[in-house]
Each structure stands twice: as structure tokens, then as C-alpha cells.
Chains A and B, each alone.
Chain A
Amino acid sequence: MDEDVISKIVKDLESGGAAPASVTDILGQVGDQIERVRKRLSRISHKMAVMSGKGGVGKSSVTINLALAFAKKGFKVGILDADISGPSIPKMLGVGGRTINITPEGAMPAVSHLGIKVASMDLMLAGADTPVAWKGTWQDSAVWRGALEMGVIRELLADVVWGDLDLLLIDMPPASSDKPPIIANLIPDLDGAIMVTIPTEVSQYIVRKSVTFAVKELKIPIVGLIENMKSFICPECGHKSGLFSPVVSLVEPEGSTKETSGELGRTMGIPVIGEIPFDSRMSRSADRGLPFIIEFPDASASLSFISIADKIIDQFLNKETRQ
């Protein structure tokens, strides 16, 4: 082919001029996807992600009990379970046997205690023992799985009939840097991230990375830090003690035994908005689908969740936006 012709064709392609329009219209389809998310979420006053970076710190437990604390204060709350491969929120909220119904208006979420709306991959599966498994020969490709999982989260945001909500909490998957940025980019006007940690050096080591990543890379404000399983209250005598060994501060000289939640918050410039004591009844409540804050409203941990909700309402949520 003539070099002049090639040069003209390349020029045309770059200018978008003479080339025939794409029949697939990828940009148009992606634009429609973004618009559907924007439209659906426009009726939700506030959106907050619950993150930890580290698995096993009780993030989902904090999410549901905090959501119920807001609901107790009259807020209309929804939870998006963004942990696609390990969804646990429906089971913990007692709606594990429900499914998402498809209607002309969209997909109807499960409705749990105090009217909390829930959308989760778990509500799409055939049964309680069914794993999240995909059709296709590219099952083992991390790129393909990642793209698909993000597509699923986009659909859960855009297609679920959330209605008018005061607050949507997004229970993020335990990862520091791969999924959170994509999920954060999917959500317009994300108010901020609530970080959850436990009083161990390993957890806080990872949480520091998550905080740095959220603030510096994703430009997401940090609502505050919650230290879960901070202490243990003896059910027999009520004595309060540390559940974990005193943690050596990450910023103090070696040998210091200063508790690190305050230090972590101070050095990273984020507020510590609450400490949740460990209560062995909490896991039983989750197993039964009867959340702790509902079953034991006067327990110390429940009061902590209420106190955290109060702080977030005062500092982040405009009460006037309550529907």
C-alpha cells in the first residue's frame, strides 16, 4: 500500500473523521452504563465505603451493625455487598434465603431488619452451598475475572431498585489496591471511606497502606478509623481487658506499648471514631441472622456502634437530607 495512503488513513483514524463508525459503539455502551449508575444513585444522599485492606478484621460485622445503628436513628439505609467471591452480608442480616427479583423497574433488593435494603452476589446464587462460579473457558484468567466482577458490582449499583436512601454503605472486598480504586471510580460522589482495623501490628500495617492509597491515589476522604475487637468484656464479671497483646506503636521507638489506634489515626491525620469491644455473642448473632445490635441493644458493643453513627452524622451527614 502506498505510504501516502497509509499516512492519510492513520490521520483519518486519529481525527476520527473518515473512519466508519463502530457498529458495536463501545464508547456509547460504556456511556450508557455510567449514566445508569449515576441515575440510580442520584436518589441516595450519601455513599460511604467500609474498607480495611486486611481480611478477618470484622468489616462485614461492623458494616451491618453500623447500618442498623443509622437505621435506628431514622435513616433509610442500604448495603451493597461488594465482596463478590465471598458474600456474607445477607446471611448475617437474616435474608440469606432470599433472592433478587427482576421486575420492569429493576432488580428488587432483599429487605432486612429496620428496612435495610441489601444487594449481594449471594442473593443471585442457586443455593447456600453454591459457589460463585462463572461460565466460560477463561475462568482462570485474573484479568477476565476482575473485569467480570467489576461488571457485576456496576450492575448491582445501577440495576438494583435502591429507591430514596439517606445512606448506602458499600462493604468493600478485603484488598488494598486492586478492586477498591475501580469500585470507587464506579460510585459518583462517594462521601468517604470508613476504615476498620483490629489492635494488631499486622492489621494496622495493612490499614496504613489502605489509608495512604485511599487518600493519595483515590482522593477519597477518610471518614474515620474504627478499631474492632479492641477489648474483651468478661460475660461473667464484666471485667474489661485487652483481647490482643499490647501493640507496639508503629511510630514510637521499639519497646513502646502505646496503643496504636490513636497513634495510627494521629500520624495519618484521621480521626478514630470508635472502638468496638469483642463480644463472643456477636458471631452467634451473625450466624443466626439476627444482628447483635438488634438482639443486644444495651450491650457495650451496640452502644459503641450508636456512638460511631452519632459521630458520623454530626461530622459528615447533613441531617436535613434525611428522607
Chain B
Amino acid sequence: MKFICMKCNDFMDYEDQEKVADQRLGLVFSCKKCSSSFAMVTNSGETQLVHALGIQIGGRSGPAQPLELTRDSLKEDVKSVGPIWTEEAEKRILNVPSFARQMARKGIEDYAREKGSREINGKIMDEYREKVGM
């Protein structure tokens, strides 16, 4: 899509973009001859459809990251929720003194992520305990 300055009969240049609301972008165009400018606001459907194709509106600022479209688009992915604690693991973490429990919980969750496990169970806890020498 191109825009033309009707006063100068010339193409307008894309200048800037701004997120104006959820899933809506404001795109600013200006005429290099007369400096007049205008902004258009995309509707959310257009923005989402372009995003669904893995296209970054306004161009990429860096190389694409692994599975970026998938991770950005899922309502609940494994990263947003974190590993799930089994009943057994929840019982066992209660054995850790309360002042250290939060730290232990975070350490175990980080270890589970590192191991590529979305579940924290007795086996993961045993492995973590061995790793940290508890």
C-alpha cells in the first residue's frame, strides 16, 4: 500500500509507528516535499493477520527468534505458566523450612525448565537435590 501527497503528486514516506491500542497500530506517513503528514490506524484484524504470517510490521529490528510466532501467539504456553507441581512435589516442598521454601521452589522450577520438563515431580526434586548437594 502506498500513499500519495495530492498537493505534491508524490509518494509519501513511512515515518513511524505506534501501538495505539491492543492489536492496533498507528502508522505515520509524511511527504518529503511539503512535510505534511498523516497517520492511519490499522484495525486489529489486519494487524493480527499480518502477525499470523510471521511478518513484523515496520520491519525487523533483529533476526527472528526460535518459535517466536508460536510463543507470542499462544494464550497459555509453558513459559507463561511455568512447570506444574504434582501433588507429591507440593507435599515434599513443605518439608523445606518456610524461610527457605520460596527460594527452593524457584530453584527447582528453574532446574525443571533447564531440563525441559513441564512437570515438577519427585524425580525432578531428587535430581535437583543431588545437583545442589542438599
Contact = CB atoms under 8 A, between A and B. Distances in A.
Interface of A: 1-2, 5, 9, 13, 18-20, 22-26, 29-30, 32-33, 36, 97-103, 106-108, 110, 121, 123-127, 130, 132-138, 141, 143-144, 147-148, 151-152, 154-156, 159
A179 B1 CA distance: 28
Given A99-B117, A148-B73, A24 B67 contact: no
Grouping DSSP codes into helix (H, G, I), strand (E, B) and loop, the A interface class, with mixed when no group exceeds half, is mixed
Q: Which 9 A-B pairs have the closest CB atoms?
A: A126-B81, A148-B52, A159-B66, A147-B52, A133-B75, A126-B76, A23-B14, A101-B116, A107-B66
Contacts of A29: 54-56, 59-60
B120 to A, nearest CB: 10
Interface string B3-43: 01010010111100000000100000000000000000000
A102 B4 contact: no
Interface residues of B, number: 46
Grouping DSSP codes into helix (H, G, I), strand (E, B) and loop, the B interface class, with mixed when no group exceeds half, is mixed
A130 B76 CA distance: 8
Given A25-B60, A134-B75, 18 more contacts: A9-B4, A13-B2, A29-B55, A29-B59, A30-B53, A99-B117, A106-B66, A110-B116, A125-B74, A126-B78, A133-B76, A136-B44, A138-B49, A148-B52, A151-B69, A151-B70, A152-B69, A155-B68
Contact of B48 (A26, A97, A102, A144): A144
A154 B54 CA distance: 10
B105 interface: no
Contacts of A144: 45, 48-49, 52
A2 B56 CA distance: 35
B53 to A, nearest CB: 6
B67 A159 contact: yes
A8 B56 CA distance: 31
Interface of B: 2, 4, 6, 9, 11-14, 23, 44-45, 48-49, 52-60, 64-78, 80-81, 84, 113-114, 116-119
